[in-house]
Amino acid sequence: MHKIKRVFLESPLIGVRLLIGLSCLTWAILLMLPAATFDRPVYTLMKYIALEEVWAVCFFIAGVTKVYGVLCYSNNNWFLLAGSFFCSLLWSVSTSAMFGVVWPTQETLVEALLHYASPAGFSGNIWIALAAWWCFIRRWAGGKDYG
């Protein structure tokens, strides 16, 4: 239990931050490819929120901020705090938008939760969004060495 506490509450989360940053950059690259990614049904809500290119730029900015924070060990806590918040918000909105498309709308909340077959491929997005929020909270609470 002590090791788990140390990992979650005391470590600088360098690997997690790098993984989030690389995930953002991968999203950005894939969205900038000439394929029409947002023509797929799962991205319908994301398409209504913003253009594919806007999402790509947002993911690029979030990725560069995260990778910069890890590789350059910046002392600009406000810049990295804002970048961490932006990244957390970005992953939360994009993941929620993808879930929103496949959520059954004709049922009550209880029925939907009992019958909802969420796509297994979203599991990575959920954990990246949660990890991004954890990094933000750690940076906000712990200062420059965290998140």
Question: What is the total count of domains within the chain?
Answer: 1
Closest CA to 19 of 69, 74, 81: 69
Residue 19: inside a domain: yes
Q: What is the pTM of this model?
A: 0.84
Q: What is the pLDDT of residues 55-79, one digit of tens each?
A: 999 999 999 999 998 888 766 778 8
Dump the DSSP string for 46-105.
HHHHS-HHHHHHHHHHHHHHHHHHHHS----HHHHHHHHHHHHHHHHHHHHHHHHHHS-S
- Per the domain annotation, does 129 fall within a domain? yes
In a domain, 147, yes or no: no
Structural domain span for residue 110 = 2-142
Please, are residues 120 and 98 in contact by the beta-carbon 8 Å criterion?
A: no
The tens digit of pLDDT for each residue in 119-134 reads 677 788 999 999 999 9
